[in-house]
Amino acid sequence: MNHIPILMYHNIGYPPQQAKLRSLYVRTGAFARQMRLLRLLGYRGLSMSDAMPYLRGEKSGRVAVITLDDGYLDALENALPALRANNFSATCYVVSQRNGQHNDWDAAALNVRKQLMSAEQVKQWHAAGMEVGAHSRTHPRLTGCTDAELVDEIAGSKSDLEALIGAPVTQFCYPYGDVDARVVAATRQAGYSAATTTRRGRASAVDDPMQLRRVLVVGSHLLHMFLIKLLTNYEDKRG
């Protein structure tokens, strides 16, 4: 069976001194080396939508999916150059009603305010050939939402972003990986093709496309650890 690593990144760049959970930052140079290594190993780095034929088992090949959560400005400034240099695409999951603002949902916990892309910058990301996915409107814990709130957050972020970029938005990512059967049903109902969690492991065609596992890439990984997570069942055992 074809195992497909869906790589999960948050921030690309150098962590601010006071930031907690500094491992969520992958340095710009490390990210560039990881992308180059993928290419040298014969992998193509793809967005979620570009990878769907592989995730559905219709195609097989050496592909890795690149995802970036939350829509930080550093995706545009620090990740995009390395993605382009290797001719890769990637999906950035955007919180649709926080454009141009900061991570108000976890700034206090992480002790750092991180700049999110403005509406204009989200359009630039898309215009550069990259995918815009949805990550809710306000980054709530979805399992605690009422049914009406679920529709607002899940279907609402899809329509917000489609209006912004003028293209279909078919990929969703659950904030905090917080998901249950009701949240999955609402996501399917909203018309998404697939959705990702924070559960660890590589994806395969037998998985529910609405609950895909991912491979966490953290800043402390040396290149060989990145390779082990990519190529072996190391992450699958942690799912």
Binding site for Zn ion (CB under 5 A): 69-70, 175
Among residues 43 and 72, whose Cβ is nearest to Zn ion? Answer: 72
User: Running DSSP on this structure, what letter comes out for residue 88?
Assistant: -
Among residues 44 and 139, whose Cβ is nearest to Zn ion? Answer: 139
CB of 203 to Zn ion, least distance (A): 19
Residue 113's nearest CA partner among 218, 12, 18 is 18
Please tell me the total number of residues recorded for the chain in this structure.
239
CB of 139 to Zn ion, least distance (A): 6
CB of 31 to Zn ion, least distance (A): 18
User: DSSP readout, 13-81?
Assistant: SPPPTT-SSGGGEE-HHHHHHHHHHHHHTTPEEE-HHHHHHHHTTS--SSEEEEEEEETBHHIIIIIHH
Residues 56, 3: Cα–Cα separation, whole Å: 11
Among residues 69 and 74, whose Cβ is nearest to Zn ion? Answer: 69
CB of 93 to Zn ion, least distance (A): 7
Residue 187's nearest CA partner among 150, 216, 161 is 150
Residues 55, 118: Cα–Cα separation, whole Å: 31
Among residues 50 and 69, whose Cβ is nearest to Zn ion? Answer: 69
Residues 2, 82: Cα–Cα separation, whole Å: 26
Among residues 106 and 234, whose Cβ is nearest to Zn ion? Answer: 106
Q: Return phi, psi of residue 88, to 5°.
A: -100, 160
CB of 40 to Zn ion, least distance (A): 30
CB of 175 to Zn ion, least distance (A): 5
Contact 12, 29 (CB under 8 A): no
Among residues 29 and 104, whose Cβ is nearest to Zn ion? Answer: 104
